[in-house]
Structure 1
Amino acid sequence: METILKVFIYRDGARPIFHQPHLRGIYASEGWFMRLMEANRQFVTRDPEKAHLFYLPYSARQLEMALYVPDSHDMKPLSIFLRDYVNMIAAKYPFWNRTHGSDHFLVACHDWGPYTVTEHEELCKNTIKALCNADQSEGIFVGGKDVSLPETTIRTPRKPLRNVGGNRVSQRPILAFFAGNMHGRVRPTLLKYWSDRDVDMKVYGPLPIRVSRKMSYVQHMKSSKYCICPMGHEVNSPRIVEAIYYECVPVIIADNFVLPFSEVLDWSAFSVVVAEKDIPKLKEILLAIPMRRYLKMQINVKMVQKHFLWNPRPVRYDLFHMILHSIWFSRLNQIQIPSS
C-alpha cells in the first residue's frame, strides 16, 4: 500500500459539509481522517488518472448540523443532498461512471452515516463506506466490502493522545466498569442486572457526582480489569477505543457489530465479545477467564493501542494508516482477477 496506493480527493463541495473536518467529540474519527487525508502527500495524487481510489470528502456530522431540522426525525434531506452531490460528480467527471462508484469511498462516523447514502443506489451498493455504525443487520453496511470505522472521543483536538496509558494490572482492583447514558436496548438491561448488585461490578448510568468526586471516569477505566462497552442507539461505542487507550480489556456487547480491522486484527486476543442475551451471566463469564489469559489479553491491548491512535502527523500502522489500509484491502478484494 505504501508504495502503490494513490487517492484522488474531489475538490468539489462547499464548506462546512465538505472539506471542513470536525475534530472534537465522539464523531471525530471522520474529521481526523479528512484532515490527515487532505494534508497527505504520500498517498494523495492530483492526477485522477493515476488514482486507485476516489475520496468523497464530506462530513456526516457537518451534514447533520447544516441540514437536519431538529425533532423532525427526517433524514431524507441529508441523503437527497448527498445524492445530488454524487450525481454532479458523475456528470462532471468520467471516474464514477467507469466503475459505478466502486472505487470511491466515504468516511462517516456520525450514527446517521449509513442513512445518508440511501437515496443513491450506486452510492449505497457499490461505494466503499467506512462507517462507525457498522451494523450488518440493517442491510446498508455490507461486510467484506464496507469498512468498520473505529469511533474515537477526542476531547482536546490539540492533544488527541492526552491521558493515553493505564495502570499496571496490580493496580486494577475493579473487575468490570461501565458508566454512561441510558439509551438503546442494551444499556438498560446492563443496569437492571448489575447496578448496585455486586461490589466487583461498577455499573452506573451517568457517573454519579458522589462517585466521580473520589474517582473520575478515566481513573475508573484505568483501575478496571475489564471495561464494558455496550452499544448505544447504534452498535458502535467510543468506549471500545477508550478502553484500549486506558489499557483495559474491552467487553463488547453489541450483536451484529462488525469489529474494525478484523481482516488483520484478532479481536479475541485482546477483547471479550458477550452476546446481548448473556448480560445476566456477565460476571460469571469474566470470572471464568483464567488469569493467565487475562494477562495475555491485557498485554495485547497495549500492543494494539498504536493502531487506534490519532497522531497529529500520521505514523506507520496508526489509525489513519489502518483505516486507509482497510479501504484499500476492500477495493483489492472487489477487483476480479480475470481468468486466463
Structure 2
Amino acid sequence: MGGDFVSMFQLETKRLLWLIGITFSVILAFQYLELPYGNVLLSLFSSDKVPTPENTVSQARYTNKTIVNNVTVFNQGNSTHELGFVLEPEWPQNKSQAFDDSTTNVSPNITAAVLSNDGNMLLSQKDNVTDSIEKESFRPSSPETGGNVHSKSSSVRTVPKEKQEFHTPVSEVTTVSEMNKLLIQSHASYRSMKPRWFSNVDQELLQARSEIVNAPIVKNDPKLYGPIYHNVSMFKRSYELMEERLKVYVYKEGARPILHSPFLTGIYASEGWFMKLMEANKRFVTKNPKKAHLFYLPFSSRMLEEALYVKDSHSHKNLIQYLHDYVDLIAARHSFWNRTGGADHFLVGCHDWAPSETKLRLATCIRSLCNADVKEGFFFGKDASLPETYVRNAQNPTRDLGGNTFSKKTTLAFFAGSMHGYVRPILLKHWENKDPDMKIFGKLPKSKGNSNYIQYMKSSKYCICARGYEVNSPRVVEAIFYECVPVIISDNFVPPFFEALDWESFSVVVLEKDIPNLKNILVSIPEKRYLRLLMRVKKVQKHFLWHKKPVKYDIFHMILHSIWYNRVFSAIS
C-alpha cells in the first residue's frame, strides 16, 4: 500500500508539472505571436497601478525587461500609490524583424518610428531613450507662452514613404503652397504600421477612405462656404462619416493633475477644453475598446510642466520619462497600443514643449499640437495642427466675439506683445512708431479685460500674428475671433485644420525676411480682395469657437476631425 501511494503521488506530481508547463507554453506563445491579449504574461507580473507625478521618472532606465522600482507618489486626492512598471524588451536583431536604419521626423540623437522592409512603421532598436532624454535642453518658460526654445535639430526633415527606403527632404522655409503638396503626397503614400492582427475597425477605416475620395460633389451647402476649404466635398463627406461611425476609447489610467485634469482659461486652453468635452462626450466615446477607431491619451502638456518641471533646471528629463512610463503602463495593461504600434492613438498638446516631450515614445501617435513646426518634426499626414486659443472667460468663451464693420476699421495693421523670440524685435525695429497706419507696439499697459488690446484688433484691417519663441501664436485665432484678417509671420508654421482649410483664401502669409516690406505688401492688396478676405474670415470663424456644449463644425469637432481624417488616410490596406 505504501509503495502504491508513493507511485500515485509521483504520477500526479508529474501530471501537475506537465499541466503547468503546457499552460506557460501557451501564454508564451501568445506573447511571442502578439495575438490579442498577447500581453497576458506582462499583466500577470505588472502592478495594477497608474503613474502619478511625484518622483516617478528620474531613476528609470530603458533596458531589456527592466523593472522600475516601486515609488510612492502624490496625487490630487492626497492619496499615495505604489507604482511598478514593466518596460518593453529590446527588439531582436534577426532578419525576420529587421529594421530600416533611416530616420523619420525625429531628432538626430535617435532613430525612431522607421519603416521596416515590408513598409511597416516600427520602433528601432537604436532608439536609446535614456541617451536622448539626457541630451534634451530647454529654455525656461515665459509668462505669455510658457515659451522655451529647445535645442534645434537639423533644418532638413524627411517624410517617410510607404514601402520605400528614401525620403523627401523638406526645404528650409516651407511655404503654405508647398505644405499643401506635402500633405497630399503624404496622404497618397504614407501608411502607418500594419496591425499585428486585423479587426473590423480596420475595414471601416478603409471603407471611409474610399467614400471620402469618391465623395459626391457639393454645389450649394448653406452651412459650408466652399472657397475656404481645399475640397468642400471631401470635407463634408469625411465629417459626415466621423459623425456616423467614429468611436474613441479614452484611457482611464493616470492620476491628476497631469492626466484627466482640464484647465479652461489662458493661452493653452485648447488642450483643456478638448479633454473636458472629449471625456464627457457620449456620441463618440465608447467603453468597448474593440470598437474604437482611435484611442485618446488624456494628458495635459501644461500640467505636465507645472507638476514636474524644476524651475531653472533647463532639463525635461523627468517630464519625458513620465510620459514614457505612462505609455508603457498602457502598453502592458492593454493590447491595443501593441496592435498598431500606437498609430491609432492620439494626444492633444498645446504647450510649446509638447513636440519635444512626445517625439520619442509617442512618435508614432497622431499628435495634435499647437507648436506645429515643419522644422521641428511635424509629420504631414499623421500629425495635426491644434489651434492655440486664448480663453479669457471659461463660463462664456465666446464673450466679445466679433469686430467692427469695414467702415470703422481705421487702422491698417496692429500688433502688440512681449518680445519673445527673434521675429518680434525685428518687427518693432522696422515699424514701431514709424508709420501712423501701422500700430505696432511692445506689450500694452494692463487694462480691464484686456480691452485696449481687443479694441485694437476689432478696429484693424489686418492683425499681425508674429511668432514668439515657437511658431504658434494665439493671435491667429484671436484675429479670426475679432474679425480681423490674420497676417501670419512665422516661417514653417502649419496653420490649424490644415487638412481641411485653405488658409490662403482668408489670411495673408508673409515670410519673416519680408518684414521690412510689410506695409507695401498690405497696401498692395486691392480693397475688393480685402473685403473678400474679411468675409471669409467671418465664414471660417465658426470653426474656431469653443462652446460649453459642442455644436456642429465648431472647434471641438474640427480638432477631432483632423485626427480622424489623418487616421483614415494613414490606415494600411
Q: Does the pair score TM above 0.5?
A: yes
Which amino acid is the alignment partner of residue 399 of structure 2? R
Whole-Å Cα distance in 2 between the matches of residues 161 and 74 of structure 1? 37
Secondary structure in structure 2 of the residue aligned to 1:192: helix
For residues 478 and 272 of structure 2, the distance between their equivalents in structure 1, rounded to whole angstroms, comes to 18
CA-CA distance at 1:208 after TM superposition: 4.3
Deviations 1:4-59 (A, max 9, x none): 00000000000010101011100000000000000100000000000000000000
**Given the alignment, which residue of 490, 493, 514 partners 1:278?**
514
Partner secondary structure for residue 36 of structure 1 = helix
Normalising by structure 2, report the TM-score. 0.57
Aligned to 2:365: 127
**Can you list the C-alpha shifts for 1:78-108, whole angstroms capped at 9, x where unaligned?**
1100000001100100000000000000000
Find out whether 1:200 has 2:437 as its counterpart: yes
- 2:243 is paired with a residue whose SS is coil
Superposed displacement of residue 336, structure 1? 2.3
Equivalent residue letter for 1:156: N
Counterpart Cα distance in 1 of 2:440 and 2:313: 34
1:6 aligns with 2:244: no
The correspondence of residues 18-29 of structure 1 with structure 2, limited to 5 A, is: 18-29=259-270
Partner of 2:415: 178
Identity over the aligned pairs, expressed in percent?
A: 63
**Partner of 1:278: helix, strand, or coil?**
helix
8 Å CA contact 1:75–1:115 kept in 2: the answer is no
- Determine helix, strand or coil for the equivalent of 2:442: coil
Which of 374, 377, 383 is 1:136 aligned to?
A: 374
Q: Which amino acid aligns with 1:219?
A: Q
Give the letter aligned to residue 253 of structure 1.
I
Q: 1:261 and 1:66 mapped to 2: Cα distance?
A: 30
Secondary structure class of the residue paired with 1:2: helix
Quote the RMSD (CA, aligned, Å): 1.5
What is the CA–CA distance in structure 2 between the aligned matches of 1:260 and 1:280, rounded to whole Å? 26
One-letter identity of the residue aligned with 2:437: D
Q: What is the CA-CA distance between 1:118 and the residue it aligns to?
A: 3.4
Alignment correspondent of 2:491? 255
Does the 8 Å CA contact 1:184/1:232 hold for their aligned counterparts? yes
- What is the distance in 2 between the residues matched to 1:217 and 1:230? 15
Kindly tell me the number of residue pairs found equivalent between the two proteins: 332
Rounded Cα–Cα distance in structure 1 between residues aligned with 2:490 and 2:380: 16
Gaps of 5+ in 1: none
Q: Is the 8 A contact 1:143 1:258 kept in 2?
A: no
- Find the counterpart in structure 2 of residue 156 from structure 1: 393
SS of the aligned residue for 1:175 comes to strand
| 2:461 alignment partner, SS class | strand
Which aligned pairs between 1:37-116 and structure 2 lie closer than 5 A? 37-116=278-357
Deviation at 1:205, TM superposition (A): 0.4
Structure 2 residue runs of 5 or longer lacking an equivalent are 1-241
Match of 1:317 among 541, 553, 559: 553
Per the alignment, in what secondary structure is the counterpart of residue 216 of structure 1?
helix
Q: Which runs of 4+ in 1 moved over 4 A?
A: none
User: What does 1:273-312 correspond to in 2, within 5 Å?
Assistant: 273-312=509-548
Structure 1 residue 158: Cα displacement: 0.8
Q: Quick check: which has more Rg, 1 or 2?
A: 2
Question: What letter corresponds to residue 197 of structure 1 in structure 2?
Answer: K
Does structure 1 retain, via aligned residues, the 8 Å contact 2:355–2:376?
A: no
Q: Is the 8 A contact 1:79 1:118 kept in 2?
A: no
Aligned equivalents of 1:276 and 1:208: distance in 2? 27
Residues 212-232 of structure 1 show CA distances to partners (whole Å, capped at 9, x for unaligned) of 9xx711000000000000000
